[in-house]
Amino acid sequence: MTAIQPSLRDYEGVAPPGSVDLLRRLADRVRGRSMLHVNSTRVGGGVVEMLERYIPLLSELGLEPRWEVLNGSDEFFHVTKSFHNALQGQERDFTDEMLRAYVETNRANASRLDLDADAVFIHDPQPAALIEFAPRRGMWIWRCHIDMSRPQREAWNFLRRYVTQYDAAVFSLPKYAQRLPLPQFLIHPSIDPLADKNRELSDGEVVDVLARLVVPRDKPILVQVSRFDRFKDPVGVIEAYRLAKRSDDCRLVLAGGGADDDPEGAAVLADVREAARGDSDIHVLVLPPTAKHEINALQHAAAIIIQKSTREGFGLTVTEGMWKGKPVIGGAAGGIAVQIVDGVTGYTVNSVEGCAFRISYLLRNPDAARRVGQNAREHVRENFLITRDLSEHVALIISLLR
């Protein structure tokens, strides 16, 4: 929707005072350095959203950033989805054929892609093995966005042989760090407050979008925005909504889409539709990855935002909801426990029942909901905006290139 990309100057009125100036002064030290980001899709998911915003801002800061995407077959993405799930703790079996498909896809991409840069950021497990086959000049950094607190050993042992070749790794939380012979840095992911998904909207814009999506505003709306993924527990959200609705009338919107590298999404979506069947107050919306304005409007319209994940690398939808000044109920998993200071900037829950209790509590206590929402917005401003994230990445490059 937004035709003009925001410039750094636009962030000065949004980010904490002085933080944009600090970013500029840091970036001056690495002006002209080349920086490459590699991930596995250009469509859908938090990493894509992050890179879409990083690249123009890094350019404006005087660096020379590029973004390359791995090519892979359906078989490759089935294998990497299994890796993803196994690294987040699920038991998965890997055959030699699967591992070969993973390695060969990385080998082919290493030949195809231009991987030369002063700092090469490889995002997540899918392209991690590129390092084995690529010519090395600059510093290589493995940026892991997923919950690695309890990885399945077989999957991690396989991946570890590649990760140990990197110069550094970056994780989203301390508990994701592994025993590795390389420096491991902590950088919390961020949101862009000026992106279509997060910018301020007028009431008219919100009304228009909800009318188009056929979501009435006659009762409080609960919103969970996320991929249809079992770790996001969308069926658990429906159960919590049903428990709360016994005494507090409300609607539930489950909005999400798929990503190119997520072949399990269709099966989860079918389960969600089955669980929602027969209840006209539940709206299951499958939105394309371009529907950022729609997501923004849904979050603006929400009385409460839910992210009831059972595993979560960080949970950018939590940050998005908090930035809109909404009370957020999050599963006590991964980064959500860092984003939400329980009872101060939101609520964390451990069960369907806990989620239902907090829904009812917030619906019945609008003053508490408002206070928590205001705290949430300031907490995000200080800790989880893209200006801080970029500063830490630039500081990391400064530190590694010293």
- Residues making contact with another protein (CB under 8 A): 16-19, 21-22, 25-26, 171, 174-175, 177-180, 183-187, 338, 341-342, 344-345, 350, 375, 378-379, 382-383, 391-392, 395-396, 398-399
Which residues is 139 bridged to in the sheet? Answer: 119
Please list, in sequence order, all residues whose beta carbon lies within 8 angstroms of the beta carbon of residue 234, skipping any fewer than 6 positions away.
224, 226, 228, 254, 256, 268, 272
CB of 18 to another protein, least distance (A): 3
Query: Cβ–Cβ contacts within 10 Å for residue 153, how many?
Result: 10
Is 311 or 379 the residue whose CB approaches another protein more closely? 379
**Length of the chain, please?**
402
Compute and round to an integer the Cα radius of gyration of the chain.
Answer: 21
CB of 185 to another protein, least distance (A): 5
CB of 164 to another protein, least distance (A): 12
Is 197 or 388 the residue whose CB approaches another protein more closely? 388
Is 14 or 396 the residue whose CB approaches another protein more closely? 396
Long-range contacts of range 273-281, CB-CB < 8 Å, 24 or more positions apart? Answer: 275/235, 275/238, 275/239, 276/238, 279/242, 281/219, 281/245, 281/250, 281/251, 281/252
CA separation for the pair 195, 231 (Å, rounded): 26
Is 21 or 93 the residue whose CB approaches another protein more closely? 21
Is 177 or 250 the residue whose CB approaches another protein more closely? 177
Q: Is 256 helix (H, G, I), strand (E, B) or coil?
A: strand
CB of 179 to another protein, least distance (A): 5
CB of 323 to another protein, least distance (A): 15
CB of 273 to another protein, least distance (A): 31
Helix (H) or strand (E) holding 327: none
Q: Distance of CA 183 to CAs 165, 194, 274, 309, 326, Å?
A: 12, 33, 46, 29, 37
Is 245 or 308 the residue whose CB approaches another protein more closely? 308
Strands 119-123 and 34-39, by their bridges, are parallel
CB of 371 to another protein, least distance (A): 12
CB of 333 to another protein, least distance (A): 12
Is 247 or 399 the residue whose CB approaches another protein more closely? 399
The one-character DSSP state at 263 is T
CA separation for the pair 181, 168 (Å, rounded): 9
Is 42 or 153 the residue whose CB approaches another protein more closely? 153
